[in-house]
Chains A and B, each alone.
Chain A
Amino acid sequence: MNQVAIVAGGEAKAGRRAASWRELVQEAGKALFEDVNNLAPKDVDSLFVGAAQPERFAFQSYVAPLVAEHLGIIPRKVIARTELACVSGQAAIRYAWNCVASGMSDIAVAIGVEKMYQPDMAEAQTTMTCVLDREWDGINCFSAPPIFAVTAQRHMYEFGTTQEQMALVSVKNHHYSSLNPIAHLRKEVTIEDVLKSPVVAPPLHLFDCCPMTDGSAGIILVRAEEAKKYTDTPMHLIGSGQCAIGNAVNNLASLTDWVPLRRAAEEAWRTAKISKDDVDIAEVHDCFTISEIMEYEGLGFCEKGRGGKFIEDGEPYIGGKVAVNPSGGIMGCGHPLGATSIYHTFELLKQFRGDVDQGRYVKGAEIGIQHSLSGAANQHSILVCSREPR
């Protein structure tokens, strides 16, 4: 198997954008090819497009060839759209990685896009309520906010986690996103702001939730030995883990202990030959404040049930035990489903390059992870990236 590196990234400004689905992907694509030396769209032989729900959000199927046409790419090895709800973007990266690692592809692009802001938000909510088992859980209005609301309620019930502790995640991530020019939300919030924001699905308030965001981001993957042809600062893919257990609410391993996350993490550390203590930056899936708290636990950064205390002690800030979401996370940057994982993978590359605001720069970082989850948190995916080849 070939070692694989990421040599470039490009992204559209995330937010409530005056731009259509295809315009978002064109913005990210242009930025992507401006970020790389000696490589043009015609050199790309494989293309993977992360897109969760274009049929509903943009009334468009068959999006991979549409993206290829708009970016001037003529795939001649592998082309496909990848769909794994909120992890569609990481799914695209994993396919691209596999193609380059196996030798099937020389130069692969993974690009994600989602246009989520709609004139009729009830229709957008309808769209997202078919992610969970529509006939048995969606029908009871279990979309993302309700499933994470009951998760938060049980976590509070079983471990004594408080709303103030959850609010601290929002405070941290909005702080970092205020320093990130591509982020959707660039205003700081206080614990008070979070607790006084409108209730979305109790116990979750508006600022416990990520926003509805339009966006697109892409990366280019090549064999590590060739990476320096295209950039002075490649990032190396050194390990990964992915695990899915059950789907319907009844068949989750547990509401309050994300077993698939623990298994994905074990596999990620094993394949990267690192331990959790080697992680300098963790870009994790903070779709809701409770998610990030449970990720501190599931990734092993703290003991089970102690995630609330972990942020109270400032451990996930830069300078603490591990820098969690120095980009501002999904909470601050936004969550354009198919693009999210790719934005946060590019964030790791920018961190390694030192190409971020000093206020959110993790100096000397060597190892970063990008974690995404989907559905009722029954599926977790982790990529391990390093500044130097290993």
Chain B
Amino acid sequence: MSKVKVEKIKRPEKIGLPFMLDFYPLQDEKYTRISQFFKNLKDGHLTTTKCEKCKEVLWPPRIICPHCHTEDLKWIDLGTEGEVHAFTEITLGAPLGFVEDTPFCTGIVQIGGLLISARIDDVRYEDLKIGDKVRLKIVELPDQRVFFRFSKSKNE
């Protein structure tokens, strides 16, 4: 039987972080009905939706209330001071896009009656404890999208 020669072909050597592996949500009003949340963050405020009918504070922000299904929601400010409810540190096993940040703390912060997950910056695991006060920190990506974190308060 005759043999066929193997031909080499080209492929791109590197591909950037694909959109569908990006953890940060699209924030513009073209893409989401809660773009107000991100506008408020840009303005320096961590906010969420509160149901005008059943008065529940909803997290994550919603477009309908899961309890009574009304669309009658208003934006409320959660403030800037939180308290550490639980935390850990990411050393091994960070996802793509976060590997370069390791090690960093992430945890659950009690703020405005909610228990929300967030990264906790400017502190190592050994120096953090349950009940510590943390303050809001807002970060901006190179493409102008924003997100919130917390930072260990210095003035304790």
Q: Could you tell me how many residues of chain A have their Cβ less than 8 Å away from some Cβ of chain B?
A: 37
Q: How far is the CA of A250 from the CA of B48 in the complex (A)?
A: 13
Interface centre among B25, B90, B95, by most chain A C-beta atoms within 10 angstroms, is B95
Nearest chain B CB to A136's CB is how many angstroms away?
5
Q: Is A202 an interface residue (CB 8 A)?
A: yes
A29-64: CB near B (< 8 Å → 1, else 0) gives 000000000000000000000000000000000000
A-chain residues with CB within 8 Å of residue B117 when the two chains form the complex: 136-137, 140, 142, 249-250
The answer, among B25, B59, B96, B98, for a CB contact under 8 Å with A250, is B59
Interface residues as binary, A189-232 with B (CB distance below 8 Å gives 1, 0 otherwise): 00000000011111110000000000000000000000000000
With an 8 A cutoff between CB atoms, is B138 at the interface?
no
The yes or no answer to B4 lying at the interface (CB within 8 A) is no
Q: Which of B6-14, B68-76, B107-115 contacts A (4 or more CB under 8 A)?
A: B107-115
- In the bound complex, what is the Cα–Cα distance between A153 and B108 (angstroms)? 11
- Residue ID in chain B nearest A127 by CB atoms: B95
Is B89 in contact with A126, judged by CB distance below 8 angstroms? no
Chain B, Cβ-Cβ closest to A248: B60
Q: How far is the CA of A95 from the CA of B125 in the complex (A)?
A: 44
Q: What residues of chain B lie closer than 8 Å to A151, measured between beta carbons?
A: 86
Chain B, 1-40, contact with A by CB distance < 8 Å: what is the 0/1 string? 0000000000000000000010111000000000000000
Instruction: Given A139-B23, A146-B88, check contact A125 B108 (CB 8 Å).
Output: no
Chain B neighbourhood of A121, CB < 8 A = 93
Whole-angstrom distance between the Cβ of A152 and the nearest chain B Cβ: 9
Most buried by A among B60, B89, B93: B93
One of A126, A134, A140, A153 near B96 (C-beta < 8 A): A126
Give min CB distance, A255 to chain B, whole Å. 7
B88–A150 touching, CB < 8 Å: yes
What's the Cα separation between A17 and B96 when bound, in Å? 24
User: Is A141 located at the chain interface by the 8 A CB criterion?
Assistant: yes
Q: Is B80 an interface residue (CB 8 A)?
A: no
Q: How far does the Cβ of B35 sit from chain A's closest Cβ, in whole Å?
A: 13
- Does A1 sit at the interface, judged by CB under 8 A? no
User: What is the minimal beta-carbon distance from A55 to any residue of chain B, in angstroms?
Assistant: 10
Pairs A–B under 8 Å by Cβ, sample size 24 = A135-B23, A135-B60, A136-B59, A136-B60, A137-B117, A138-B23, A140-B117, A140-B119, A141-B95, A141-B106, A145-B93, A146-B88, A149-B88, A153-B88, A154-B85, A157-B130, A201-B88, A201-B93, A204-B88, A248-B60, A249-B108, A249-B115, A249-B116, A249-B117
